[in-house]
Structure 1
Amino acid sequence: MPDSSLIPPSTGRRTSGQLILLLALLTAVGPLSIDLYLPAFPGMAGDLDTTAAGIQLTMTTFLVGLGLGQLFIGPLSDGIGRRKPMLAGTFVCAAASVICAVAPNVEVLASARFLQGLGGAAGVVLARAIVSDTARGAAAAKLLGILTIICVVAPVIAPLAGGAIIAAAGWRAVFWVLAVLVLALFVWAVFGAQETLPMEERNHGGIKTTLHVAGVVLGNRNYTGYLLTFCFAFAGLFAYISASPFVIQNIMGLSETRFSLIFAMNALCITIVSVIAAALAGKVSYRRMIAIGLVVAILAAAGLLTFALNGTPMVPMLVLFAAFQGSLGFIFGNATALALEEAGHHAGTGSAFLGCLQYVLAAAVAPIVGLGGEDTAVPMGIAMVAFAVLSGVSYLTLTRKTAAPAGTEADLPAQAPAQPVS
């Protein structure tokens, strides 16, 4: 359980363990909505009389909804507060999950997945914003690390749980489970989530102010650098996520159960490294951890592409999958913390751009890695290398250490650079 005594020095507002757990579970709805039904991809294509690309489209529409929803909900929450958008979005996500469960064809499923992503975006974008409302510096980095840990535990559990659910009751049962889970979180949020953004810190002035705030946030070079570092790294991860069912099952010839186990073990790597990164927050430079993660990610991706071009040997590929995922544990939480510190009081807007670009890139990656068909890992390898390199270039060329007193906090802004717009 997260430490409920964390009180950020710059806000004076308490982040309770119960709130962090709720936020983490709301954030985990996204990964769960993606990973629970991954083992069913090959079987769903036949059941819905469509192709592999058609099934991957249901993932793409979910990701587009998840990305665009954050772009709308984040700035909205900077003006009206966090609680109302969270409740509305969570309810929409639950309703859309029911539609997914009864969808008669891939077209209805894809449309319902878009709505599911749109509603689920509230939990993702507002969890980060609420942490930024209530914590700064090492406290924020640790809390965001906790969110990351629980969020990446979801992919460890999801394929195994999804495989068991699918084997027992079919792929539609996955969406019934999601509907029940999200509805339970909605009820919890109604009674357990309080407003964290005081009236005096909200943006007022409508669209003009929102656009101005967006310009202020994106005009911050450090914010943009950490934004791109995070999002390109996530796109590389998603190249693996979207292609791995076909690479591991169709090319390597493993069963759904073994795929689920391998996928879970790989996700466990990022969980372990995320735990380490959270423990090191405030002791080791966040920028140093990001740099280490990027080096490992680029080397692992390059190795994967090399093996994909030379017969896709199972053991080396699986080892490098694990290394790539593990490296992201040093990147995700730390890049997010530094980006939101740079966004300052405009955490909702900063979180919105982070989440929108993250999932729009992921949505583009899903069909691209499928263009080569179901029997090659080369498109996946190319995408992983390209995005890992782009993440590293963004970090090296756009981000700079912010001047601050000597110590482990030197890579965090001394104060939020962006001030509320009246």
Structure 2
Amino acid sequence: MSAEPETRSESAAATGWQYVRLVLLLGCLTALPPLSIDLYLPALPQVRDDLQATDSMTQLTFTGMLIGMGLGQLIVGPLSDAVGRRRPLLFGLLAHASASLLCAVAPNIEVLAALRLLQGLSASAVSVVIMATIRDRFQGTAMARIISRNMLVVAMAPILAPSLGSQLLRFTDWRGIFATLLVIGLVLALGAFLFLDESLPRERRRSSRPRAVASSYLEILRDRTFISLAMIGGLTAAAVFSYIGASSFVFQDGFGLSEQEFGLVFGINAILFLAGAQLNPVLISRFPLIRVMMAANLVGLLAALSAVVLALGEIGGPAGAAVPMGVVLFTIGMVLPNTPALALHRHGVNAGLAAAVLGCLQSGTGGLVAPLVGAIGVKTALPLSLVMTTALVLAGALLRLTSRDTSVYEIGGRKS
């Protein structure tokens, strides 16, 4: 399947300060879902103790949001193709703020997990609309570059959020963190209302009738390369989500780090993820995107395997877990931007719906995989290392199958 003709070039979409403002605004908006997760991470043990919950039930407050994000995108995606990008985005931001307020007053762990599912559903509008907006304006390597640059802002969430969350816990409790998310959601809603223009003109909008939506979904699901790329993104994200969901328990409970020390470790590894995302535009200017992804996956897999070996031998303490996991995150920074660039390049007409399928598989896979760490155990780094390794092995196998489709080599490299 060939890509649809480009409707707007990178230079036509925005120039100079307009381009910078667009990247910053999209990055800040895209940062809301990970910020909703990462700001809360240092408080997980506190939530467990305060609400008298188990580790697995506490992790459901993390995975519930991921599942909500996955399911919600399947609804918001075709809706944004039909009514435009702005209205679903603004509604999602306001709904997210409302869910944050309700989370702040949740009486028990079951209600909190349900509200986090609601928060994920509302955050799905942000995730899918922003990705569709990028596809409306860019394609090919231009799209991969802006996603990588977008991650420069997005990565500030995991860099700053755990440290900020740790500092907030010095003055408030976990409920105060959700009150903070309420304020952030309202500020972003105001920014989107004032500064983000509609990117999907009326003449390019699709029908929202169930038969038309079902036909569009069927067209995408028949594209084996697209589904393979979506699963690669999902499995790679699962490695990240399992780390995010279990790292606070592993480093704080298992290795005895303080909330502030954990925030530092988490921030350093987030910087490595950021470095990989910023190296990506340099690499894809020289090599096809698929080649960059395959090389990064291999290095990440070797690092994950080394984490397993070190954990089995109880070697290196917290550094023995943090260093190889940091390398894994560095390589993932070179995979995640390229996955949607390759996949959405094939479906520009149904960008919202295609972005929804991508996001659903990514969030859904992460939401299903992350609890495995809690089920196996979070007192050592071994279960987390094993889950990350397995996810990268499966992603690598799919990458090699995908590479047989010669069309994926069209994007990236000197001739692109």
Same-fold call, TM cutoff 0.5? yes
Report if aligned partners of 2:373, 2:383 keep a CA contact under 8 Å in 1: yes
**Alpha-carbon contact 2:378-2:384 (below 8 Å) kept:** no
Shift of 1:205: 5.4
**Residues 94-173 of structure 1: pairs in structure 2 closer than 5 A:** 94-173=97-176
Q: Higher relative contact order at CA 8 Å, sep ≥6: structure 1 or structure 2?
A: 2
Displacement, 1:12?
4.5
Q: Do structure 1's residue 353 and structure 2's residue 374 form an aligned pair?
A: no
| Structure 2 residue 287 is the aligned partner of structure 1 residue 284 | yes
Shift of 1:121: 1.0
**1:9 and 2:9 matched:** yes
Whether the 8 Å CA contact 1:75–1:348 is kept in 2: the answer is yes
Choose which of 314, 321, 344 in structure 2 pairs with 1:317. Answer: 321
- Among candidates 325, 328, 331, match of residue 332 of structure 2: 328
2:401 is the counterpart of 1:394: no
RMSD, aligned CA: 2.1
Percent of aligned positions that are identical: 36
- Following the alignment from structure 2 to structure 1, what is the Cα–Cα distance between the partners of residues 87 and 151? 24
Cα 1:205/1:87, change in 2 over 3 Å = closer
Take 2:157 and 2:226, find their aligned partners in 1: how far apart are those partners?
27
Q: What per-residue deviation string (whole Å, max 9, x for no partner) do you get for residues 229-279 of structure 1?
A: 111111011121111111111222211111110011011101011111134
Asked whether 1:192 is paired with 2:195, we answer: yes
Q: Within 1, Cα distance between the matches of 2:347 and 2:380?
A: 41
Aligned residue among 350, 373, 393 for 1:369 = 373
Distance 1:389 1:70 in 2: 27
Going from structure 1 to structure 2, the CA distance change for 1:398 and 1:265 (only over 3 Å counts) comes to same
CA distance in 2, matches of 1:18, 1:369: 39
Q: Does 1:24 align with 2:15?
A: no
Match of 1:381 in 2: 385
Q: 1:204 to 1:248 in 2, by over 3 A?
A: same
> What's 2:302 paired with?
299
Distance (Å, rounded) in 2 between the aligned partners of 1:405 and 1:361: 28
How far apart are residue 93 of structure 1 and its match?
0.3
Partners of 1:24 and 1:319 lie apart in 2 by: 27
Measured against aligned partners, the alpha-carbon deviations of 1:116-148 in whole angstroms (never above 9, x if no partner) come to 111111111111100100112222111111222
Q: Is the 8 A contact 2:288 2:409 kept in 1?
A: no
Given that 1:224 and 1:398 are in contact with CA atoms closer than 8 Å, whether structure 2 keeps it comes out as: no
- Residue 4 (structure 2) aligns with: none
After TM superposition, the structure 1 stretch with the greater mean CA deviation from structure 2, 286-295 or 16-25, is: 16-25
Q: Structure 1 pair 355/311, CA: closer, same or farther in 2 (3 Å)? A: same
Give the stretch that moved more between structures: 267-276 or 282-291: 282-291
Alpha-carbon distance in 1 for matches of 2:165, 2:299: 30
Shift of 1:8: 4.3
2:152 maps to a residue whose letter is I
How far residue 319 of structure 1 moved from its aligned partner, in angstroms, is 1.3
Letter in 1 for 2:352: G
Q: Is the 8 A contact 1:222 1:342 kept in 2?
A: no
Residue 404 and residue 38 in structure 1: after superposition, are their counterparts in 2 closer, same or farther (change >3 A)? closer
Q: Which amino acid aligns with 1:301?
A: A
**Rounded Cα–Cα distance in structure 2 between residues aligned with 1:227 and 1:202:** 24
Taking the TM superposition and a 5 Å limit, the aligned residue runs for 1:175-214 are 175-204=178-207, 206-214=209-217
The answer to whether structure 1 residue 64 and structure 2 residue 72 are counterparts is: no
Does the 8 A contact of 2:377 with 2:383 survive in 1? no
Secondary structure of 1:311's aligned partner: coil
Tell me, what secondary structure is at the counterpart of 2:380? coil
Distance in 1, Cα, partners of 2:411 & 2:321:
42
| Alignment size in residue pairs | 405
Aligned mates of 1:329, 1:54 — CA distance in 2: 30
For the residue of structure 2 that corresponds to 1:342, the secondary structure is coil
Letter in 1 for 2:358: L
Alignment CA distance shift 1:24-1:403 (3 Å): closer
Deviates most, 205-214 or 331-340: 205-214
Alpha-carbon displacement from aligned partner over 1:152-203 (angstroms, at most 9, x marks no partner): 2210111111100112211111111111011011111122222111122111
**Contact 2:235–2:391, Cα closer than 8 Å, also in 1:** yes
Deviation at 1:13? 3.8
Preserved CA contact (<8 Å) 2:238 2:362: yes
- Distance in 2 separating the partners of 1:124 and 1:263: 23
> Is the 8 Å Cα contact of residues 61 and 114 (structure 1) preserved in structure 2?
yes
Q: Which runs of 5+ in 1 are unaligned?
A: 1-6, 413-422
Cα distance 1:207–1:43, how it changes in 2: closer, same or farther (>3 A)?
Answer: same
Q: Deviations over 1:39-60 (max 9, x none)?
A: 1111211111212112111112
Q: Distance in 2 between matches of 1:289 and 1:398?
A: 13
In the alignment, the residues of structure 1 paired with residue 41 and residue 368 of structure 2 have an alpha-carbon distance, to the nearest angstrom, of 17
Contact persistence 2:10–2:142 (CA under 8 A): no
